[in-house]
Amino acid sequence: MILQKILACGDDAYRLMPSDNHQRHAIAEALRSKGVWSEVVVGRESVTVQYDPCETSPEATRKLILSALDQVNLVTQKSASSVTLRMRIDEKSAPELLTCAEANGLSANEFLDRITGSDLMVDMLGFAPGFAYVSGVGDALVGKRLEHPRQLTHAGSVGFIQGFLGIYALDGPGGWPIIGQVSERLFDKTSDNPVLLAPGTRIKLEVSQ
């Protein structure tokens, strides 16, 4: 069974709870391919499908969702896109790197080896345009948000908390300890697809001095 639950959210959306949380992105991809929804959004534990209740009734929408997923073999979904990001770790680019490493009883290089050796994937976008929550970092590495958030965190900054990286696509406030800064442009408003890191994208981090 693909879905554990399908729950109504207001009068124009359904929240889908997968039996296997790792299938969220494949489910979203399958639904988007139908092109009949107002929006399909991947969350931490669910996929939300928004529809136009003036065009389709809730019951008809529910049947369309289930029908779409019945026709999908999630095992054979095409591989997620992947991107390699080059991360600078000089003192200016990585102000909390040493602190995060020492909190785990590691040198900076050992800490970075754990991060770059992880199976990293964009779990979801949120909080700010293009901000990527990246899963795959082992829970054995501990880390928590800054006690006093920054008023300005630069675009490309890579934050770390236990279990996740957070990659800032734009300048803005932020409360994640910063362990590096990527060189690639993560947000381009002139592009048809302005955000480089979409949910489901696999990431390979390469450290540069």
- Report the predicted TM-score, pTM, of the whole model to 2 decimal places: 0.76
Q: What is the pLDDT of residues 23-66, one digit of tens each?
A: 888 888 888 888 889 998 888 788 999 999 999 999 999 998 98
In the prediction, which pLDDT does 71 show? 64
- Which is more confidently placed, 143 or 3? 143
* Other beta carbons within 10 Å of 50: 16
In the prediction, which pLDDT does 76 show? 42
